[in-house]
Structure 1
Amino acid sequence: MPPLHTLLAKSLTLLAELQKAGKHVIRGSDLPRMDRQRLIKAGFLEEVFRGWYLPSRPDTHAGSSATWFASMREFIAGYCDERFGVDWHVSPDQSLMLRTGERTLPKQVQIWAPEANNQVVALPHACSLFLYRAPRLWQSEALTDAGGLRLATLAHALVAVGPAFFSQQPLAARIALASVNDVSELLRPLLDGGHGHIAGRLAGGMRAIGRGDVADEMVSAMRSAGIEVKASQPFEAAPTPLSGARPESPYVQRLRLMWQQMRQEVIDEFPAPSKAPQDVDATLKSLEDRYITDAYHSLSIEGYRVTPELIEKVRSGLWQPDGEDAKTRDAMAAKGYYEAHVKVKDYIAQALSARPERWPLHDALAGWYRALFSPSVVAGILKASDLAGWRNEQVFIQGALHVPLSKEAVRECMPVFFELLADEPHAAVRAVLGHFFFVYIHPYMDGNGRLARFIFNAMLTTGGYEWTIVPLEQRQTYMEALERASSYGEIQPLARLFANLLRQQRTAPLPRPQ
C-alpha cells in the first residue's frame, strides 16, 4: 500500500483539478469516498452540510469561522449554480447593497429562483439561505468582486426595491442613485413595465441628491410614453450632497458618506480637546515613558508572544540581529514596532512644531509601514517586494463578517482616506475615524491593526489629547466594536471605548507590564 503522504497528494491533485475547473463548492459525488475522507481528515475539505463541501486549509482550527466567512460568497454562488444554473440572483435589495460598496453579507442571504421551493437552508455559524420561488427574475450578472454571486443590475434593482429601502438603507440608496451613469438603462425597465409610480420615486430621489437634470429627463421620457409621473422625495431626511465633479466608485462614495454620518457621534463621545502641547520635548518624553506598555499591549493584541524583556532588549540595543533573536518572528515584530514608533514620534514632533492646518499622512504612513516590516525583510522572513505598497491579494479578518475591500478598491479609496483625514478639523474624529477607516479598508497584507493604532495616537497627541493604549484585556471588546462599525455602520461602541480609555489613562496611565 502506498504511504499516506502519497495517497494524500493524489487526493489533493483531484481537489486541485476541481478548483481549476472553476468549482468553488464540492459535492460529495465530485470526489471518490476515500479521497474525500482523506481530505477531510487532513483539513483540506470541510463539510458545510450533508453532501456539500468547501475547500479549506489545515492551518485553521476545525469549525473556525475564518474559513467560512472567507469562502461564504463563493460557496453560495457555487451551490446556486449547481442547483439553478444561471436562473437565479440575490434579492434586489441585497444586490443593491453589494453593488453600492457594502462588504458584509447578511446572516441570511435571499436567493430568487423560479425553481426554488421557499425553503431555508442552514449554513455554518448561524448563517442561512432563503430560496425564494420568484415568479420572475430581474436582469442580473455574476460579479467577481462579489465572489461570483449573481446580482440584479443596478438599474433593475433600483426599479425592483420598494420605498422602504430608501428609509432603511439611505446610504446605499444615495450611492445607487449617484452611480447611475446612463439614465437610459434606468428608463428601459421603467418604460417596459409602465412603472410611473416607481419613476416618480426615483426622480424624486435623483432630485434630492442634486441630480435634477436626470430627474427631468426621466419624467419627460415617461410622459412622452403617456405614463403620468409624480415625483416624490423617498428619503426620510434629505441627503447631504457630496462634493466632487467627477464620478466616483461606490466604494469611494460609501467612504465619504460614512465619514459624514459618523463624525458627530465621535465628537459627542469625546471630551473637548485641549490645546496642542507647547513643549515638544516634554510630549516626546511622555510618549517614551509609555512605549514599553504600548508595545506590549499592541503587539499582544495581534497575537505575538512578546515579553516586556524582549521589548526592552530591542530598545536598549542589546537585541542581536545575527544571533538567536533573528530566528523568531516575535523578535522581528518587536524590532519593527520600535523602528515604526520612532518614526511616529518624528511625525508628532514635526506636526507640533509646524502646527499645520491640514494633516497629510501619506508619506509618513509609508515610512511607518516600511519600518514595521524591514527587520523581517532583512532577516529573510519576508520578501523585499512585501514593502512595495498596497496589497495585491484579498484578505479576510478572523471571525469577522466584514470583508475588506478588493485590491482594486483599495487603490481607489486610499487617496480619499488621506484626503478625509487631512481635511478633518476635529482631533478626536481624525483619531477614531482614521483608525477605523484604515482597518475597514485594510490596505496592507499585514500590520493594519498596529498601524491603525499608530494613526489613532498620532492624531490624538497632535490634537491635544493623551496617547491612549488599548489594553490586551479589552481585546475582545475592541474587536467586537470594530466589527459593529465595519459590518453594521455603528461607530458609537468604538468611539465610546476609546473615549473611556482616554479618560482613564489621562489620570492613571496603564502600568508597565510585569
Structure 2
Amino acid sequence: MAVLTPKFATNDASLLLYAELDEAAIRTVQRQLKAGQLVRILPGMVSASAPDQWPALVARERWRVLAALFPQSVLAYRSAFNGGLPENGEIHLSGSYRRDVELPGLKVVLWKGPPPAPGDLPMQGREIYFPSLPRILLENLTPSRGIRPKAVGKAAVEQRLLAICDARGEHALSDLREQARVLAQQLLLLKEFDILDEMVGSILGTRASQLVTPEGKARTAAVPYDADRVALFEQFAAQLRSTPLQQAPAVALTEQARTHLAFLESYFSNFIEGTEFEVQDARGFVLQGQPILERPQDSHDILGVFHQARDMGWANQTLAAGDAVLTQLRERHTHQMRERPEVSPGEFKDKPNRAGNTEFVSPALVRGTLLQGSQLLPTVPAGMARALLAMFVVTEVHPFADGNGRLARLVMNAELSVVNACRIIVPTLFREEYLDCLRVLTRDGQAQPLMSAMQHIQQWTAAFNYNDLDEVITQMTACNAFERSRSQFKLLFPAPTKVA
C-alpha cells in the first residue's frame, strides 16, 4: 500500500480523512477503495481497519475526525460545559448548519450557531474550537427541552459560578460577567446574559438572591452556611432517627465517682489530641493539687475539660437549637481554653483548619453552619442519638482554632448526662477506631460504623466502678486502655465484679 502524505503528520492508514490529504493522495485513496484495500466509513473518511475497530478509532482520533468533517465548528452546549467529553454517546457542536451525523460509536449533534468568537481556542491546532468560558455559560442558559436537553441549564451554571467564585475570588466572577456582557452582543444571547447577570449579582450580594441550588441558597442566606456539611448533618440525623441505639445508664452515681470519671474522661480526651501525660502525673495536678511545674499549658488543657465534665452546670448543658448555640459554644470554649490566650478562647476561627485530608467548614460559614446543624438536634431522639449528632456537628464545623475535638466530646457527653446515661470515655487504644469512624462518615456518609463504635465504647465505659480510682486505673490498664497499637492489643472489658 502506498504511503500517503497528509497535511497533519500521520502515515497510519487505519483512519484517513480527505480533509487532511492533498489531491494526489486523495486519488490514491480512491484507487485503493476500488481495489478493496480501504473501506469508506463516511464520505471523506476511510479506513484499512475492520469495522469492529472503527468506534475505537473514532474515539482515539475524535478531534481529527471532527475538525475534518465539521471545519470551523465550535464545541457547544453541554459538551463544552463538561470539558469536551462525549455524554451518552453524543457530542454537541455549533456550526453553519443543523445536522445529526452518526459516526461509529459517536453521534454528532451539529447546531446552527455563531462561528468561532474571540476567546475560542483551536483544539490540537485544528479547525475545531473549544469555546471561552463566557460563551460556555451563556450557551448553557439557552432554553432547551427533551430527555437529554442540549444545555445543562440554570442550576448547573449556578454551581459552576459558585465554584469559580470559591476558587478564584469575587474579582474573577466580576471579570467573567464583563466578558460575557461583550460576548452576548456578538452571539445574540442577550436574554441569557440577563440571567447570568442576575446570578452573578446574587452571588456577589449586590442583588436580591435569585439562586436555586442548595449551595446558592446557603451562600446567599442571611447567615451563609456550608450546604454540603448541612446535607451531611441531615443525612446523619435521618439515620439516627431510624436506628434504635443502645444506651447504658449512668454508673457514676456518687460525687466521688463522678469526679473520678470526669478525670479519666478529661485525661483520655486530651490524649486523643496529643496532650500526653502519665496518668498518675495527671492525677497529681488535677485531683491532688500538686503544683504544675512543667508544661503548664498542656496541664491546663486537662484541667479545663475536667472542670466541665465534673461541674453539673457544664456537664448537663445541652446544645440549644438556633442562635443560642453560638453563645453556648463560645462560653464553653472560653472556659475550657482560658489559660491559652494564643488560641483566642471563645472566638470563632478566622483561618481555615484541617485534619489530614479533611478540610473543615470555612471561617465565613461557621456561624450559619452551626445554626443549621443545631436546628436538627430536636429532631432526633434525646440521649445517644442526639449526643452523636451534637458531637459530629461540632467536629465537622471545627469552629475554633484549637480545642475542637475536646469540645465536641464534652458536648456529646452533656447530651448523655442530662438523660442520666453513662458518659463516654474514649481510651487511647480506641482513638484510631473513633477517628476512623468519623472519617468514614465525613467522606462517605456512612454512619453505621460510628454508631456501632460509640455504643460499644459506652458499654465499655459503663463496665467500671468509679468509686475507687486506683482500682479503676488498674482495671483499665489490664484492659489495655492505655495502649496505642491496635495491631498488638485488643480493648478488653473488665471481669465482672464477684458478689461476696
- The alignment's TM-score, normalised by the length of structure 2, stands at 0.49
Give the structure, 1 or 2, with the largest relative contact order (CA under 8 Å, sep 6 or more): 1
Over alpha carbons, which structure has the higher Rg?
2
More helix by share: 1
Q: How high is the TM-score relative to the length of structure 1?
A: 0.47
